[in-house]
Amino acid sequence: MNSNSADVRSTGQDDLANRRTEERVPARFEVHFNDTQEAAKALRAYSLNVSAGGLCLRTRRAYDVGSPVRMDMVVEGQAFQLQGVIAWVRDESEAIGVRFTDISEKDRSRLQSVIDSLKR
């Protein structure tokens, strides 16, 4: 993995937080990746935080910034099948940021409802 960010030159955590349009809340749940190139491997990671626009994951697998990903996750009993792109990578913490892409308004609304319940 390499420490990069998809859209900014500075990769400080404060810069990333300032660029977010959605509030992230701490949450830990399992995320399964649907990687057709490595279908034999069980690709999974654990979330550190989530928003309606993306999430931060802890994973030991190397990902490149800009790579598309498809994932399944269950948050507070709600199942989601989402697509995203790797927005940033942090080698030292084995963490990646995923920005959701092509998320339907229905799924965004459901996800925001789940996130609101996590804040309570």
- Alpha helices by DSSP H, listed for 9-102, are 13-19
- Looking at residue 92, its pLDDT comes to 78
Q: CA 21, CA 75: separation in Å to the nearest integer?
A: 21
Q: CA 95, CA 55: separation in Å to the nearest integer?
A: 10
Total-model pTM: 0.76
**Tens-place pLDDT, residues 84-99:** 999 999 987 789 999 9
**Tens-place pLDDT, residues 3-30:** 444 443 334 444 444 455 778 899 999 9
CATH topology of domain 25-115: Thrombin, subunit H (2.40.10)
Residue ranges covered by each domain of the chain: 25-115
Residue pair 71/33 in contact (Cβ under 8 Å)? The answer is yes
- Take residue 67 and report the two structure tokens written for it: 């790579």
Per the listing, tokens 């928003």 go with 51
